[in-house]
Chain A
Amino acid sequence: MPLLEVRDLTVVFERKGEKPFTAVDHVSFDVEPGQTVGLVGESGCGKSVTSLAIMGLLPRRGARVSGSVQYEGVNLLSLSDREMRDKRGRDLGMVFQDPLSSLNPVIPIGVQVTEVLERHRDMPRKKAMLEAAELLDKVGIPDPTRRLSEYPHQLSGGMRQRALIAIALACRPRLLIADEPTTALDVTIQAQILALLKELVHDLGTALVMITHDLGVVAGLCDEVNVLYAGRVVEKAHRHELFAAPRHPYTHGLLSSIPRLDAPRGEKLNPIRGSVSDNIPWSEGCAFAPRCPNKLDVCVRVTPEQEDIGGGRLLRCHNPVKPPVAEEVSA
């Protein structure tokens, strides 16, 4: 049984006097225990909203969430506020994008780690402090005992993100959601943080939902990948297959827009034309159609359904990219 089973998750933002906006549109995916699943897409495709909906962190007013999020067989969306507070931090951990603003500036790091231990593991303060020092050590923060009494502004960006990871993993949750955890960091630090995450989820057997726009992160970390476009999953595949043979024109566009070191000099970059604002609503056809090089007439009339194309792959496209010939895949 999957650890997390997201089915038809839909989030609609409603504001008085404005048209409701569907940020997440019938998104479904599974996360097996210990597995790392990527949610990939550009800004505004609904990946962060998906993670917040799973965590129950969307504002109660103005955001309508439907579908189901089964965690170990319990639908998280049906839990009360109190029950959800018991789950968050204990069964589900989350790491956010900006490590400076995600830490409370006026409270020592130590308290920010121990408060979650005291809350969920009933640890007395003293014992929690020892455990916190151990946690900071485990995420690679040198001199952890001293760091406990320091404040976020006294730590470097990478250290802060390590501290946040320590907080999220303090209670050994079975699922960790990381929402672009490296976006705000230097490139060298990014690699360290990714390596750390990889190592930790492996050691602890934690399942990881990795939310990112960076295909490099996906390549290094994820087992399964879900590509989101305008709130819907357009392609789902195993990491290797996705990189070797992207079928959706959007995925293909994303991959071919990455500049390559071995490309001939002077070769032009290969961006996806247009922007998200060119989208048409899914109800009228394929949202990606206006930007799609493979567009057919049918694309702007009929909404493509999600199809199982074999090998555990799902695809939502009328005119997918032809898979390369078999020899090329193995090469």
Chain B
Amino acid sequence: MLRYTIRRLIQLVGVVLVLSLLLFAWLRALPGGPVSALLGERSTPESREALTKQLGLDQPIFVQYVKFLGRALSGDFGVSTGVQPGDSALDIFLQRFPATIELSALAILIAVAVGIPLGYMAAKRRGGWFDNISVGGSLLGVAVPVFFLAYVLKDVLSSALGLPTEGRQDAINATRVTGFFVLDGVLTQEWDAALNALEHLILPAVALATIPFAVVFRITRAAVLDVLDEDFVRTAESKGLTAPTIRRRHVLRNAMLPVVTTIGLQTGALLAGAVLTEKVFSFAGVGQALAIGFERRDYPVLLLLIIMATIVYVVVNLLVDLSYALIDPRIRTR
């Protein structure tokens, strides 16, 4: 298990190195660039040249890359040119990453908390009206574009529910401990701040949760249908166990393997969804920074955020793979 984990982490280093090289080239291949973004269309060639030189963009690309790598090793990922000009890319990441984690975690929580029970119930009532409605609903959940749903939530539902639609938190004097706003509020016992931060999370999290919910629901339903046909469920019934015991211990436990895999894969989709959702809700997270970064060709911020997103994705899926062993003893002994 340990050897497996280490091997996967070494693979991750390779992935990050290759990705950083590709990204470095790809970003510079985009039309326009930070210079045009910063100076606008009516800049003089002289000022453009000066800025290009100042940003080091006049050097050959591999020289830029090697210099970047050298600085990155000492924790310097460059300075933002567009998102928050002048701030270091690392600071921007550290500032915004907790926000996106909070948002994604709540979204996954919603998706799992609704998707798994609904998937189980639909499977138990296969072919019934409940099953048909929820399968149809989940199809809608996948089909409706996230940005459209986000606008519907923001413009139509927010006033009805009295929920805030912009930003991460109102101007409340909250103490920062970890950068996770809800957690900070709880840690410092500033309950108003915690509640306020949570309220700001709800609508974007719901928008972000739709696709993972729909996928988790469908996978759970299919997995439960498979398990319900298994002989050991009949054995459990023949023992006269109560329905909740059979559900928890015999059906869901066995149905969880594919569901957990799905949750891991969905984290990737979640990061993509966060770009749209955070933009719509003016939520100061990584997704918003990515959106702005692309508009303004902020090379250092884009590079760092995308690499970090990759690392998160790989690590989450590694955790998923490790959790198999917890769920299924047949994997443990191999």
Contacts and interface: CB of A to CB of B under 8 A. Distances in A.
- Interface size of A as a range: 20 to 34
Contact of A115 (B234, B237, B249): B249
Contacts of A153: 329-330, 333
B283 to A, nearest CB: 39
Contacts, number: 83
Contacts of A174: none
Contacts of A94: 235, 238
A85 B241 CA distance: 7
Interface string A103-136: 1111110010001100110000000000000000
B240 A102 contact: no
Contacts of B62: none
Contacts of B295: none
Interface string B229-270: 011101111111111010001100110000000000000000
Interface in A60-118: 84-90, 93-94, 96, 98, 101-108, 111, 115-116
Given A57-B234, A96-B235, A105-B232, A151 B241 contact: no
B238 A107 contact: no
Contact of A98 (B231, B240, B242): B231
Nearest to A97: B231
A164 interface: yes
Given A57-B237, A94-B238, A116-B239, A104 B330 contact: no
Contacts of B239: 88-89, 115-116, 119, 167
B328 interface: yes
B253 A106 contact: yes
Nearest to B257: A106
- Interface size of B as a range: 20 to 34
A88 B238 contact: yes
B242 A119 contact: yes
A154 interface: yes
Given A87-B240, A105-B254, A164 B330 contact: no
Contact of B241 (A87, A89, A101, A168): A89
Given A119-B245, A154-B333, A106 B328 contact: yes
A24 B234 CA distance: 20
A275 B221 CA distance: 39
A250 to B, nearest CB: 29
Contacts of A89: 238-241
B177 to A, nearest CB: 39
B261 to A, nearest CB: 15
Given A96-B231, A105-B254, A106-B254, A116 B245 contact: no
A55 interface: yes
A104 B232 contact: yes
A164 to B, nearest CB: 7
B121 interface: no
B241 A119 contact: yes
A85 B254 contact: no
Given A88-B240, A89-B240, A167-B239, A102 B234 contact: yes
Nearest to A85: B240
A89 B240 CA distance: 5
Contacts of A151: 329-330
Contacts of B250: 104, 107
Contacts of B245: 115, 119
Given A96-B235, A106-B329, A101 B230 contact: yes
Contacts of A85: 240-243
Contacts of A106: 253-254, 327-330
A104 B254 contact: yes
Contacts of B243: 85
Contacts of A120: 240
Contacts of A119: 239-242, 245
Given A94-B238, A104-B232, A115-B241, 6 more contacts: A57-B238, A88-B238, A89-B241, A106-B254, A106-B330, A115-B245
Q: Shortest 6 CB-CB distances between A and B: which pairs? A: A89-B240, A88-B240, A89-B239, A101-B231, A94-B238, A151-B329
11 contacts: A57-B237, A85-B243, A89-B238, A94-B238, A104-B232, A104-B235, A104-B253, A106-B253, A107-B249, A108-B329, A115-B241
